[in-house]
Each structure stands twice: as structure tokens, then as C-alpha cells.
């Protein structure tokens, strides 16, 4: 069985449970969308109709662009270029990027920075109204924090086959044994997210080679 079962790819069709999403009309297939699994692990055969699916996709891409801005800031600071944004409705609550090198803190991943900032601003640790956007699939630590914060929805750009805990290596975000499961969307602005990461490590290798010559 594939580890990525239940993960929504940006170029796939959405399916959500009609009880949880009454705006979805079962049986209508007039408009393609993306498949989805909600936080309860339930799937259905409903399809998004009208302009709702394209509106969601537009919003996801728009907020992922902000996360990409943060990733570029991280790269300029010599940090691994990962950016994240926490959004409530249409409002950016918190944004940040990887700060492990700057803070000498192994836990200072972009997601952790944003979760802490959002909790502080909202004055609560249950972040049940937020969507978290991150350029790279969350690791096990960040996935655990997302579950503990009760974040209902996570959108990430590129998969991380070496450390991803959203289905690539582990599936913590939708682990049935845990008391919270996250709706996942992947592949939003995927090429940009992957390119920033690839360019960063290529440039770092070149600098290492230059120093040794």
C-alpha cells in the first residue's frame, strides 16, 4: 500500500466528505478538482462545482508564494531554504523561515517558528482555525507539532523523500492511532519549491569546492 494514500496532489481531483463540506454537490462532475481526505480520514465521491475549486487552488498558490518569499530569505541568510505561513481565512497570522543556523537551535524549523508565533498572537495553543503552508513536506518533529497544535489543514510544495512525515517517509499527519488527523494538500508551486532547495545545495557545494581548490 502506498504511503501517500490520502495525500492531495495539486494536479489531482478533490474529494471531501459531503457531511463535512455541504457546499460539495454529489454526482456533479462538471468541473475537475483535487482529491482530498479530511481530518477524519473519510472520503467521498462529491465534486466541487462552480468556481469554488479554482478559488481554493488560487488561494493555496497565493499563500505558497508568501512561503516561497520566506524560503528565499532563509537562503540569503545561509539557512536551508524552507518557508512557512499560517493563515486564518484570508489573513496571514504568522510567517517565517528556517533559523537553525542563526539561532543554533535544531528545533528552529520554519513550521516550528510559525506555530510558535501564531500561538503567541492568538493566545492559544489549539490552532484549529489555521491552514499551514510550507514549501517542503514537514519532518517528523514538525508533523508532531502540527498534530499537537490541532492544525486542521497543511499545504506543502515539494515532497521530502529523505525525511518527509506527510507520506513520503512517514505518515504522522494522518496516523490513525493519533487523536488528530490533518487534511493534506501537496504539489502546490512544487517546481518553485524544489528549485529553490536544489539551487541552494548546488551553490553550497560549489562554494565548498572553491574553498578546497
> 111 catalytic, yes or no?
yes
* Joined grid coordinates for residue 146: 502540527
13 secondary structure, DSSP code: B
Burial of 123: CB neighbours in 10 Å, binned 0-12, 13-18, 19+: exposed
> Which secondary-structure segment (H or E) carries 25?
strand 25-26
Nearest to 122 by CA among 158, 79, 88: 88
Q: Is 78 left (phi over 0), alpha (psi -120 to 50) or beta?
A: left
**Whole-angstrom distance, CA of residue 142 vs CA of residue 193:** 18
- Beta bridge partner(s), residue 25: 47
Q: Which of 12, 61, 70, 111 is catalytic?
A: 111
Q: Inter-axis angle of helices 110-122 and 140-148, to 10 degrees? A: 20
- Direct distance between the N- and C-terminal alpha carbons of the chain, in angstroms, rounded to an integer: 48
Beta-bridge partners for 131 = 87, 153
Task: Tell me the catalytic residues.
Answer: 111
Amino acid at each position: 500500500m502506498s504511503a501517500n494514500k490520502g495525500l492531495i496532489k495539486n494536479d489531482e481531483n478533490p474529494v471531501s466528505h459531503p457531511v463535512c463540506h455541504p457546499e460539495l454537490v454529489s454526482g456533479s462532475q462538471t468541473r475537475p478538482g483535487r482529491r482530498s481526505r479530511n481530518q477524519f480520514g473519510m472520503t467521498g465521491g462529491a465534486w466541487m462545482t462552480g468556481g469554488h475549486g479554482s478559488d481554493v487552488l488560487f488561494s493555496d498558490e497565493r499563500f505558497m508564494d508568501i512561503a516561497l518569499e520566506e524560503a528565499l530569505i532563509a537562503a540569503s541568510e545561509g539557512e536551508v531554504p524552507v518557508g512557512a505561513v499560517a493563515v486564518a481565512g484570508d489573513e496571514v497570522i504568522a510567517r517565517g523561515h528556517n533559523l537553525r543556523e542563526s539561532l543554533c537551535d535544531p528545533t528552529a524549523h520554519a513550521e516550528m517558528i510559525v506555530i510558535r508565533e501564531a500561538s503567541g498572537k492568538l493566545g492559544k495553543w489549539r490552532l484549529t482555525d489555521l491552514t499551514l503552508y510550507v514549501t517542503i513536506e514537514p519532518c517528523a518533529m514538525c508533523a508532531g507539532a502540527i498534530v499537537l497544535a490541532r492544525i486542521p489543514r497543511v499545504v506543502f510544495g515539494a515532497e521530502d523523500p529523505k525525511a518527509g512525515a506527510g507520506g513520503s517517509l512517514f505518515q504522522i499527519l494522518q496516523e490513525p492511532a493519533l487523536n488528530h488527523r490533518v487534511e493534506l494538500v501537496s504539489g502546490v508551486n512544487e517546481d518553485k519549491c524544489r528549485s529553490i532547495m536544489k539551487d541552494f545545495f548546488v551553490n553550497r557545494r560549489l562554494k565548498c569546492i572553491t574553498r578546497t581548490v
